[in-house]
Chain A
Amino acid sequence: MSAAAVAVRDDMRRRVSRSGVFLALLHRDMRVARKELPFFLIRTALQPLLFIIVFGFLLPKMGFMKSDYTATLLPGILAVSLTFSSIQAVALPMVQDFGWTNEIEDRLLAPVPTRLIAAEKIVSGVLQGFISAAFVLPVARLIMGPIPGLSFTQLPEVVLIVVLGATAFSALGLLLGTAISPQQIGLMFSVIIAPMLFFGCAYYPWSGLSAVPFMKFAVLINPLVYVAEGMRGALTPGVPHMPLSVSVAALVVIGVIFWILGIRSFERRAIG
């Protein structure tokens, strides 16, 4: 036994740091994301862009929408692309990685706690959400023309909302990607994602729902509401919106819940 102990110490000389492994995992995901960047952007940004063209450009031009609608729409569209890309960036690879070949095994064998491998997936989703938002914002501005009341003076708040929103939705992606079977992935989009997008106050401000009081309270379980309203508070403060502090607090709570559930679901899936 003592000789084994010596051998153990010997091995430990090349002791790996958790942060080193974490960065290596992140490097891998970024390498893959870069290879797939065009597809990633099409997958996550095309739908928001189509919305921008119709609701932010065509309808205002036709006179069906007031031109200042774009100030309500732009933060919402950003929230949608962030949501969409963060969920997909984590959920879709999870379905493949835990698929029948179980190709995630080469990462599960990394000498770090399984939790850390799960957490890396969420961080990778956050980065991809960032990329998507950074791509959609200028394009949206380009298509919609000048947007009344758009200001970048609250940039730290914008970044904060993006980080919190992307974290919550990446963690949700981890939960969905590990808890849902590959056959049900299409169902996930129609049953969970689509209602979330439509009832997420992305295309209308939350205060507007005062016209339908029941809805105004029902939508509060939808995390997208807080991202969209938070974006409005940070990007177009002139548009009616929830207090920023409420959005931030709600996103923190939701983020923590999804984070715990997502990582737990990943661990359940990873260890038989």
Chain B
Amino acid sequence: MSEGARPAAIRTEALRKVYPAPSGGKKRTGPPGPPAIGRGGGPTPPNGGNGTGEIVALAGLDLEIGEGEFFGLLGPNGAGKSTTIGILTTRIRPTGGRALVAGEDVVGEAAAVRQRIGVVPQRPNPDRSLDVLENLVFHAAYFGVARADANAHGIRLLETLGIADRARAKVDELSGGQQQRLMIARALIHEPSVIFLDEPTVGLDPQARIGLWDILRELHAAGRTIVMTTHYMEEADQLCDRLAIVDRGKLLALDTPGALKEKAPGGTLILLTLDGDAASAAIAARDVAGIDHAEGEGSTLRALSSRGGEVIPALIRAAEGQHRTVKDISLREPSLETLFISLTGRTFG
């Protein structure tokens, strides 16, 4: 995947976003607000907290996404994924740096950027005053698509997505999964060249998820540039040409899924859940033969083993030596997920 060969569909340079300190009093339910704070637990300050209460959502992100590329953004909650999507879709103003989509600046040429993008939001937000097909036809009209074309194309899209029978339904009558499919249809109705999807399969049943994957593969095959954030490793692995792993507003790794998996730390990742703080047990675990690395975060002890599960009895003894009881054990073979955990220090989802 040589980056130079393809022209850039999207480029960000030192992109920064800092949300002001929440003022407590007049809280507004605005657009994709400051991202939720990571659930890592423990005493770490929230998300790049700098003492003033400001939230640094993006701390200088450089990305280049090629035309026709299927690009995945992976990261825990609060990593800055939604903020990145928000800036690229012109809905959030960056604090610093710049971002270009299809060669146009997202701040200076916002309208030109919007002309070329389709957006599937994290939470379905259809126009509730309109019925299903009207949602598509009016959205198309906002992009200058003639009514007759939009009608025909809208029905085709609804058929592809399996909700054509709901064309005249009120959107409130749709299930969550159906609303999500309507959002996908809406993102495609004006035939954008770049499509953004913010965790599109959250809340979909497995069957609908596979159905969406097929649609995304088709769009990719048709040459669209697709940028997707996801919580699901398998999804990222199967669909994306390249993946960026981000956390706390920074890019931690960027490569093809295959190359990233090769970068995953060798050995088996063992996660022990203890009945109390894991710090002292982690120090003890480092002396266990076959453990290359061990650290504690909250009540979780993470250890990297070069001897697979063999080391588990010794690990349990080490924890018990620190007066901790092991409540749960899980093993992870080298994968995107173990790479992710080793990079971010956090489990996924």
Chain A residues within 8 Å of B, Cβ to Cβ: 1-5, 7-8, 11-12, 14-17, 20-21, 24-25, 27-28, 31-32, 35-36, 93, 96, 98-103, 105-114, 181-182, 269-272
Contact = CB atoms under 8 A, between A and B. Distances in A.
Interface string B110-146: 1110111101010111111110001100110111110
Contact of B31 (A4, A32, A110, A272): A272
A40 B31 CA distance: 28
Nearest to A20: B144
A96 B111 CA distance: 24
Contact of B29 (A2, A111, A181): A181
B130 A181 contact: no
Interface of B: 7-9, 26-33, 67, 86, 89-93, 102-104, 110-112, 114-117, 119, 121, 123-130, 134-135, 138-139, 141-145, 186, 193
9 closest Cβ contacts across the A-B interface?
A16-B144, A24-B141, A111-B115, A110-B142, A272-B92, A4-B7, A111-B114, A3-B7, A32-B129
Contact of B125 (A8, A24, A31, A103): A103
A24 B138 contact: yes
Contact of A111 (B8, B28, B111): B111
B167 to A, nearest CB: 16
B124 A272 contact: no
Contact of B91 (A16, A17, A35, A105): A105
A111 B126 contact: no
B102 A4 contact: yes
A112 B29 contact: no
A11 B141 contact: no
A31 B135 CA distance: 12
A106 B125 contact: yes
Given A16-B115, A109-B89, A111-B112, A8 B33 contact: no
Nearest to B117: A109
| B interface majority secondary structure | loop
A272 B93 contact: yes
Contact of B139 (A8, A98, A106): A106
Given A8-B104, A113-B111, A272-B30, A108 B144 contact: no
A18 to B, nearest CB: 9
A8 B9 CA distance: 10
Nearest to B17: A272
Contacts of B27: 181
A215 B32 CA distance: 46
Nearest to B123: A101
B142 A8 contact: no
A182 B27 CA distance: 11
B193 A7 contact: yes
Nearest to A25: B142
Contact of B135 (A7, A12, A106, A272): A106
Contacts of B86: 272
Contacts of B115: 11-12, 16, 111
Contact of B8 (A1, A16, A31, A105): A1
A106 B31 contact: no
A101 B129 contact: no
Nearest to B27: A181
B31 to A, nearest CB: 5
Given A105-B91, A105-B125, A16 B29 contact: no
Contacts of B91: 105, 108-109, 270-272
A187 to B, nearest CB: 13
A103 B127 contact: yes
Nearest to A97: B127
Given A35-B129, A272-B91, A110 B67 contact: no
Contacts of B143: 14, 16, 21, 110-111
Given A24-B141, A103-B126, A272-B93, 14 more contacts: A8-B102, A14-B145, A24-B138, A27-B138, A28-B138, A98-B29, A106-B127, A107-B142, A109-B89, A109-B142, A111-B111, A181-B27, A181-B29, A272-B31
